[in-house]
Amino acid sequence: MLVDQDLPALDGLTGSRARSHDLIAALEGAGRLRPVRRGTYVLVDAGGNVRVDVLNLIAALTSEPYLITAGRALQFHDLTDQHYRLVVVLVSRQARSWSWRGETIRYSRTDRNIKSAAARTRKTRAAIATPERALADSLAHPNWGVTLAQVAEALDAMLRRDRGSADRLAAVVAQGYGHALARRFGFLVSHLADAATARGFLPLRGRGKAATKLLSGGPDDGAIDSLWGVRENVDVSRLTQHRRQ
């Protein structure tokens, strides 16, 4: 991979900046370099293959701290069989989005802590959100491409893997995500597991009397769960449909 920062070293080999640009253009024309975005290229091997993946590209091109979250993080943790072509990357300073081989990398500025929210993994050097953080971001931001049904399926998979993850999820939600999200997760966890597993969300419900829609932006009708203060404005049975597939 070649980026603008590497040009001085290349200049030392070619003798000038103009010759460096000529060499890059020649390699690109020959199919040995493929542009990612302005000033950035990846090498193409003799077989015509690009061996770098989008996660490593993000790691190379994004200033720290950053955090890959939402659907792509759920996919990374094997909590969904969906492939998300929108890759949401949280950053402390806004950056310009870019695309690579049909995938869109969208940067979203956040004031929340992202340094301590990365999972420990050796599978990639990119900073990937923990499963709990990825779920919180997915439900909090429906426009990031993860549907309510997909959140429920990923949450179910995480709880089956480790019931203790519910308490870790509650701890993440407590870090400024608000009462509405805590109510939704409490309701979902109690339905996917049981009331005891959802206990960590009880003190996070808030005191507001207005019911929180289970599906944000959805219909205004539906029964209200009195414990969680959640309006069931979707068919709840559809949220466990993945178990019957």
The whole-number pLDDT of residue 20 equals 74
What is the DSSP pairing of strand 40-43 with strand 98-100? unpaired
At 59-86, the pLDDT tens digits run 988 999 999 999 999 999 999 999 999 9
The pLDDT of residue 1 is 57
What integer pLDDT is reported at residue 3 of this predicted model? 63
Burial label for 183, CB within 10 Å (0-12, 13-18, 19+), is buried
Write down the pTM of the prediction: 0.88
Mean pLDDT across 33-52: 73
| Cβ neighbours of residue 131 closer than 8 Å, sequence gap 6 or more | 73, 74, 77, 79, 119, 154, 158, 165
pLDDT-based confidence at residue 114 (cuts at 50, 70, 90): very high
| Model pLDDT for residues 199-222, shown as the tens digit of each residue | 999 999 999 999 999 999 999 999
Mean pLDDT, the chain, integer: 90
Cα-Cα-Cα-Cα dihedral of 54, 57, 61, 65, to 10°?
70
- The pLDDT of residue 21 is 74
Task: Quote the pLDDT of residue 203.
Answer: 97
| Tens of pLDDT, residues 122-175 | 899 999 999 999 999 999 999 999 999 999 999 999 999 998 999 999 999 999
- Per-residue pLDDT band for 8 (boundaries 50, 70, 90) equals confident
- Express as a percent the part of the chain with pLDDT over 70: 95
Q: Which of the four pLDDT bands, split at 50, 70 and 90, describes residue 5?
A: confident
pLDDT higher at 6 or 144: 144
Give me the pLDDT at residue 31, please: 67
| DSSP output for the chain | -B-GGGHHHHHHHHSSHHHHHHHHHHHHHTTSEEEEETTEEEE--TTS-----HHHHHHHHSPSSEEEEHHHHHHHTTS-S---SEEEEEESS----EEETTEEEEEEE--S--TT-BPP-SS-SS-BB-HHHHHHHHHH-GGGS--HHHHHHHHHHHHHH-TTHHHHHHHHHTTTT-HHHHHHHHHHHHHHS-TTTTGGGGGGS-S--SPEESSTTS-S-S-EETTTTEE--S-GGGGGGGGG-
Whole-number pLDDT of residue 202? 97
Chain segment 185-201, per-residue pLDDT in tens = 999 999 999 999 999 99
